[in-house]
Chains A and B, each alone.
Chain A
């Protein structure tokens, strides 16, 4: 039975989600305690604030084979650290646009504001993102931005 499913296995994207400790990570916890499902291929990394996410983390994820990267933080104005997510918003606006400029489809990068109370939204956002990235298919571009011998 299991072997059959493995053979038929469709493309399952690998998604890295960065969540801020105070809002989005708690939102993910709430999604969990409310038993609101989303695909298992979403893996969450906890950061104190979305502003802790260095663009190089996002690049690293793509270069290591992630098919989509999503960053979640407190809603603008509600940042636990007052202004952290405002900087995040600018950084990611530029980074995402830049990645798109390099040919990394813009649908592979996303930023969502999810509060600690928005468990349902967290789950919905993840389901939607997984679907979008699944439709796009595998991402190899940042693992292969430069053609190198033996690769």
Chain B
């Protein structure tokens, strides 16, 4: 990953120096080795802070909505999964494609610091990845963890490939693999309604309404969120009841259905570890089953499954949970 970072830095420097772009969007160092954060670099000097490592899980595409409005062209480093969100945002006219220079970068799955800590390493001072070994340095001694155990949940079932690139920096190809991202959804589907309700009730009860999921979600790109729209009939301010409180995640999941690229950011940022991606994946699975496989963000054109139809679509009464199919 170090060589990749070096190449990225070089390119960023060259692009800024030549004036080809006015800024570069990437990640910068955090206080610790495991908390780099998305950042904009406008000068070569600022690039000293530039970092790209196994903790750069954040999806940068949503930042481009605001950044693209600025004068001049913006270069951005996108991981495979980020490019789907990027395409979707271009499709929805939220980003002007002309103003963005996309550099596709390799990913090889990102690590989840929570999972590393949960594996018993309470203080992490450094991480090195060699194939499937994650060598974690700690003041209390070094530990080697098995990589698949400590990658971000969203990376565990990722099979995404770059959908958009003006150039690419890829030194190591990710090996091809078979993944089943719907296994968890199927597990829930196979439960009884009572069990499912109990599961979701427990999960959703943990929510503290911090809005992190909404803020990070690239599909939640509205100028004004429906939950803040007093005329939508669902904004909390306009209701004295608990409607919004109760159904926030349900409404949000429906709102992004057909547009959600399954980037998994919602679950990554949730401080309560609610598996929010399992809500979205249910919609994705149903769309695939009922209307043919569809991957939002694969292209930046065309209609979504919910803005198209065929005359012989499945009837809702038969479409529930795949039971009648």
Q: Chain A: residues with CB nearer than 8 A to chain B?
A: 55-56, 59-60, 63-64, 76-77, 83, 86-87, 89-98, 100-106, 109-112, 141-148, 151
Contact = CB atoms under 8 A, between A and B. Distances in A.
Nearest to B233: A56
A94 B320 contact: no
Given A76-B311, A110-B317, A142 B246 contact: yes
Interface string B302-325: 000111011101111101111100
Nearest to A111: B316
Interface residues of B, number: 52
Contacts of B194: 103
B5 interface: no
A104 B254 CA distance: 16
Given A56-B234, A89-B313, A111-B315, 5 more contacts: A87-B306, A87-B307, A94-B283, A94-B319, A103-B200
Interface of B: 185, 188-189, 193-201, 204-205, 207, 232-234, 241-243, 245-247, 250-251, 253-254, 257, 279, 282-283, 286-287, 290-291, 305-307, 309-311, 313-317, 319-323
A147 to B, nearest CB: 4
Given A63-B246, A63-B247, A103-B198, A89 B315 contact: yes
Nearest to A113: B315
A97 B204 contact: no
A56 B311 CA distance: 25
Contact of B245 (A64, A111, A146): A146
Contacts of B322: 97
10 contacts: A94-B283, A95-B316, A100-B193, A101-B188, A101-B196, A103-B200, A105-B193, A106-B320, A109-B316, A145-B204
Contact of A146 (B199, B201, B313): B201
Contact of B309 (A64, A87, A145, A146): A87
**Nearest 9 Cβ contacts at the A-B interface:** A103-B197, A86-B309, A93-B319, A106-B320, A103-B196, A92-B316, A93-B316, A111-B316, A147-B205
Contacts, number: 142
B290 to A, nearest CB: 6
B311 A90 contact: no
Contact of B250 (A87, A102, A144): A102
A109 B320 CA distance: 10
B108 to A, nearest CB: 32
A104 to B, nearest CB: 7
Given A93-B314, A94-B286, A105-B193, A64 B321 contact: no
B200 A145 contact: yes
A35 B245 CA distance: 42
A146 B286 contact: no
Nearest to A143: B246
A56 B246 contact: no
Contacts of A103: 193-201
Contacts of A91: 306
B282 A98 contact: yes
Nearest to B253: A98
Given A105-B193, A143-B246, A147-B205, A96 B320 contact: yes
